[in-house]
Chain A
Amino acid sequence: MNERMTVGVAGSGTMGTGIAIVAARGGFPTIVFDVERSRVDASIAQMKAFFGKSVQRGKLTSDQVDEIMSRVSGTSDIAQMARCGLVIEAIFEELEIKGRLFSSLNEVCPPTTLFASNTSTLSITEIAARSGRDDRFVGMHFCLPAQLMKLVEMAPGLNTSPKSFEQAWQLCEAMGQRPVKTQDEPGFILNYFLVPFNNDAIRLVEARVAEPVEIDKAIKGALGYAMGPMELLDLVGLDTQVLLCEALHGVTHEPRAACPPLLRRMVAAKRLGRKTKRGFLSYETAAIFGA
């Protein structure tokens, strides 16, 4: 039954597009929704480009890609989401805007439709409370880049029914992902640990304990991490780290989650990381990570 269920993805940015790739590749009819048609078209074009690279690398055949893309449609008409058995939201991290989206979806979707939010910092319970169906609402936090990362952090809200959570879990696995259960708490697991860890690394630079390049060498050499915290911050974007700090610290008030002053100064100076070729490290090109 799950294989035929239509998955809706609300939001056509980087995360939404990645999630749509996962759903379509997993065999689900997939609808990409955004309020602007041009964004939907751009998202679908990105999906085609991604699958084109998959063919080049021999991961998929052209026929398989044609089959996958035949399952994909896009819309800027929210009424079209009435066909969905699961809607995964991946819009920007503002509680009221997410709440309004789900409230609108609640009006058009049948009662059986499950709602999921890809939020990484907001409370699932608080978003669910604005949806009109908090018993059929789950957190499904995909990792960036969603089309490559298997992990999905899944969190029930306070009123999520066990049956709904189980259904969402099975759908996640049917998409080929690896769900892990976490509580509905700020940052879930990944961001709860990563945001303060990266802030601590910035504070080492602030305190003149070590230069950024030395910090990365130390962490990679000691722990076998593929990437040091300064490289990772530059990849994620220092402006994004500020937003993550504000979201996490705003809820937890944990000192380690507070935005370090140096981070704000670097953002003010437009040293945002790889995308501006200068962050904690320097880059000759602003190429996107990976190929």
Chain B
Amino acid sequence: MVHSVTRSGPSRSFPAAHPLLDAAAADGDILVLVGHGAGLAYTALAEKARYTAILVELGTECLGVHTGEGRGEEGSNVLGFARFCLGKAPPSDLVEIVRQPRTRPDALDAARSLFEAYDLKTAVCGDFPGRIVDRLVRPYYNAALNRLDSKLASASDMDLTLRLGLGYPEGPIELLERTGLADHHDVTLAVYQALGDPAYAPARRAQVAKAGQRREG
């Protein structure tokens, strides 16, 4: 199946050249809307029904923001997507594909096939704040930062314990240092505001990092 790409501003999922972008055709069966303005590009799209699938890059927002929702029966040929990315780190190979209750199966299959054809891994989830990964890791990172403050263990021992004990490639503190605490602040705050769950409220150290970033302009 042939795909087309429309770019609308800088993309978090594809910040640099990528074979999936390079292989785009002028008139494809799948339309990939890439960039911060992908949602607006979707809204402005005239002929939505002619595509097997329209894939809209998401930030922290839900797909329903762009498609509208109705009675829990929304869904069509439109899916959201985002490559998981932690702060300053390059995007991971994981693409979270966001579906709605009545998303067409052929559209979902097309989305999966397209990303996997370019060696990306896919995971399908519903249209919820934080999707899968942010929903799971942000409370864990907040807890690690809070426990560092309460001196459960040193940062090095906490990281070492989670690496040796659970086989994680990185401990939470070193990972947040590498990818940026201020970015963690922004993402976990967005999920906190959407869900209202205190586990997502930015930890003190993330708030400090964000304040420092603002001060430095």
Whether A196 lies near B143 (C-beta < 8 A) is yes
| Closest residue on chain B to residue A216 by CB atoms | B123
Which parts of B184-204 form the interface with A (CB within 8 Å)? 199
Given contacts A178-B164, A207-B128, A214-B124, contact A196 B169 (CB under 8 A): no
Whether A227 lies near B161 (C-beta < 8 A) is no
Q: Tell me whether A190 is interfacial, beta carbon within 8 Å.
A: yes
Q: B124, B160, B166, B169: which has the most chain A beta carbons within 10 Å?
A: B166
Given contacts A149-B165, A209-B135, contact A221 B158 (CB under 8 A): no
Binds B, one of A64-72, A121-129, A162-170, A197-205: A197-205
Q: A143, A217, A225: which has the most chain B beta carbons within 10 Å?
A: A217
Residues of A within 8 Å of B96, CB to CB, are: 218
| Closest residue on chain B to residue A143 by CB atoms | B165
Whether B144 lies near A193 (C-beta < 8 A) is yes
Whether B153 lies near A181 (C-beta < 8 A) is yes
Q: Tell me whether B14 is interfacial, beta carbon within 8 Å.
A: no
Which parts of A249-272 form the interface with B (CB within 8 Å)? 255-256
Given contacts A182-B157, A208-B126, contact A190 B132 (CB under 8 A): no
The 10 closest A-B pairs by CB, nearest first: A221-B94, A218-B123, A221-B121, A151-B164, A222-B84, A218-B132, A210-B125, A222-B94, A217-B123, A189-B161
Which A residues form the contact surface with B (CB < 8 A)?
143, 149-151, 153, 178, 180-183, 185, 189-190, 192-194, 196-197, 200-201, 204, 207-211, 214-215, 217-219, 221-227, 229, 255-256
Which B residues form the contact surface with A (CB < 8 A)?
84, 92-94, 96, 121-126, 128, 131-133, 135-137, 139-140, 143-144, 147, 151-154, 157-158, 160-162, 164-169, 172, 199
